[in-house]
């Protein structure tokens, strides 16, 4: 097998962080080589160096054996490198064809889009990538947009394709389909770099796996010799139990009762229809489903952020239907929102300020309108310890915390009020295995 890529001793420093520490990585034609690691392990940084978005501070890069310098995406494209980014690089107001044609070379200014759309149809047929070339991106589902990203790469006939967390937004069915396409793409003689932190996906798709932690390579294994426990331990740096033992809990009386709830979504279409559910004491009720099927609207309605059309919501026999968030909280509901950076904490506020955000209006945190700093510090230090929030101090801005630690902070705050019901939206998204 030909060696497509070799990255040797790559070092990349950001202020205060060593994102890549002498990383070695290579890729052969026809294989899927996975970069596995937690958030912030340096996977995306390494690939952004490969794609010319960052310049390495040290190290060298060989493409098909020849030392190369890649200083811009244009360079990368000219070297036959394609990248499907974590956030789609598509222009919503342009069509599929226009997005694919964008930036490709042509002799004159006029575009021959007919030719491009013919080629897209060929590619979608030969690779099972069904997509309408004339559709606008904004009309497409997430899965279809993913396919457009892959078509973009195939259209340029890349030799080396990097996929940065491509499954984050897909349904299980879409993931299976994507993996089939990716296997086929590799078998055509291309090399694929797959970035992920989902162990079962990594094992299903890869030929080889390189594990990164804190910017360093922790090891490289053949996928056939690997298993989940081993990979998880390499990622986290200590043995990890993937399935905690949980004794069954006795369930008691109903704490949250929802009856016949009807809620409109943002576009004025029904998001929830006649939904009823009960959560009992000692019970965790999971809401599963592809995102966009009413989960967000349900959480917002319970939390008092969205008015239902009809139906009732009760916490401990108190009717909170359509009440303001403060009243809902007073009734005993705690809420960990989906967008923790945006809705769950105030990034510019310190850790201790965020800790008491809900309670600051009441004694003992404040008295006669004045915040009581001694009490606040004592209380937040206690919570930081109890929930093992890794923070350099109580006074650093919350925006400095990693996703997992910010989530612990929010959870600590929400649980500190001894709520009757805890409502948590996507609480483990973007949180490391260790923290989760």
Query: 91 or 285, CB closer to other proteins?
Result: 91
Q: Does 90 bind other proteins (CB under 8 A)?
A: yes
Q: Does 74 bind other proteins (CB under 8 A)?
A: yes
CB of residue 102 vs other proteins: minimum separation in angstroms? 5
Q: Does 87 bind other proteins (CB under 8 A)?
A: yes
The vertex-411 CA angle with 340 and 289, nearest 5°, equals 60
Q: Edge to edge, what strands does the sheet with 318-319 contain? A: 270-280, 254-264, 310-315, 318-319
For residue 35, which of 242, 190, 229, 205 has the smallest C-alpha distance? 205
Tell me if 262 sits within 8 A of 270, measured CB to CB.
yes
Contact pattern from residue 148 through residue 177 relative to other proteins, giving x for each residue in contact according to CB under 8 A and a dash for the rest: ----x-------------------------
Q: What are 371's two structure tokens?
A: 């915040």
Q: Which of 11, 29, 62, 94 binds other proteins (CB under 8 A)?
A: 94
Query: 148 or 365, CB closer to other proteins?
Result: 148
Q: What are 17's two structure tokens?
A: 């962080």
Q: Does 54 bind other proteins (CB under 8 A)?
A: yes
Q: What are 157's two structure tokens?
A: 């006939």
For residue 9, which of 215, 234, 213 has the smallest C-alpha distance? 215
Three-state SS annotation for 337-370: CCCHHHHHCCCCCEHHHHHCCCCCCCCCCEECCE
Site size toward other proteins (CB under 8 A) is 29
Q: Which of 15, 16, 109, 247 binds other proteins (CB under 8 A)?
A: 109
Rounded Cα–Cα distance for residues 226 and 204 (Å): 11
CB of residue 375 vs other proteins: minimum separation in angstroms? 40
Q: Which of 16, 110, 267, 374 binds other proteins (CB under 8 A)?
A: 110
Residue 375, Cβ neighbours under 10 Å: how many?
15
Site residues for other proteins, 32-51, by CB under 8 A, read 48, 51
Residue span binding other proteins (CB under 8 A) among the ranges 15-23, 92-100, 231-239, 403-411 = 92-100
Q: Does 59 bind other proteins (CB under 8 A)?
A: no
Q: Which positions touch other proteins (CB under 8 A)?
A: 48, 51, 53-54, 72-74, 77, 83, 85, 87-94, 98-99, 101-104, 106, 109-111, 152
């Amino acid at each position: 097998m030909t060696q497509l890529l070799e990255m040797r001793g790559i070092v990349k420093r950001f202020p205060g962080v060593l994102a890549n520490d002498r990383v070695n990585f290579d890729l052969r034609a026809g294989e899927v080589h996975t970069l596995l690691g937690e958030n912030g392990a340096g996977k995306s940084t390494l690939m952004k160096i490969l794609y010319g978005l960052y310049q390495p501070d040290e190290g060298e890069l060989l493409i098909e054996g020849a030392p190369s310098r890649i200083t811009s995406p244009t360079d990368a494209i000219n070297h036959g490198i394609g990248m499907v980014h974590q956030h789609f690089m598509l222009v919503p107001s342009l069509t599929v064809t226009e997005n694919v044609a964008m930036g490709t070379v042509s002799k004159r200014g006029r575009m021959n889009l007919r030719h491009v759309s013919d080629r897209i149809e060929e590619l979608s047929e030969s690779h099972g990538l069904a997509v309408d070339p004339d559709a606008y991106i904004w009309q497409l589902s997430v899965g279809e947009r993913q396919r457009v990203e892959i078509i973009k790469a195939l259209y340029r006939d890349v030799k080396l394709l990097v996929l940065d967390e491509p499954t984050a937004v897909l349904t299980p069915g879409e993931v299976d389909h994507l993996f089939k396409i990716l296997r086929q793409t590799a078998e055509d003689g291309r090399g694929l770099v797959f970035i992920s932190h989902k162990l079962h996906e990594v094992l299903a798709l890869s030929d080889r796996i390189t594990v990164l932690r804190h910017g360093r390579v922790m090891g490289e294994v053949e996928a056939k010799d690997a298993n989940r426990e081993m990979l998880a331990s390499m990622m986290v740096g200590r043995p990890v139990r993937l399935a905690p033992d949980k004794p069954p809990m006795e369930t008691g009386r109903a704490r949250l009762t929802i009856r016949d709830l009807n809620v409109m979504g943002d576009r004025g279409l029904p998001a929830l229809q006649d939904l009823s559910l009960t959560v009992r004491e000692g019970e965790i009720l999971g809401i599963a489903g592809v995102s966009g099927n009413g989960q967000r609207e349900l959480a917002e309605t319970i939390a008092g952020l969205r008015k239902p059309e009809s139906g009732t919501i009760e916490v401990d026999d108190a009717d909170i239907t359509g009440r303001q968030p403060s009243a809902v909280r007073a009734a005993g509901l705690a809420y960990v929102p989906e967008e923790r950076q945006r809705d769950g904490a105030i990034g510019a506020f310190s850790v201790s300020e965020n800790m008491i955000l809900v309670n600051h209006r009441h004694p003992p945190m404040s008295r006669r309108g004045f915040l009581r700093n001694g009490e606040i510090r004592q209380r937040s230090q206690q919570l930081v310890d109890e929930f093992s929030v890794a923070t350099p101090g109580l006074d650093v801005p919350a925006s400095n915390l990693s996703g997992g630690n910010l989530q612990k902070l929010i959870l600590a705050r929400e649980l500190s009020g001894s709520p009757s019901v805890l409502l948590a939206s996507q609480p483990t998204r973007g949180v490391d295995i260790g923290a989760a």
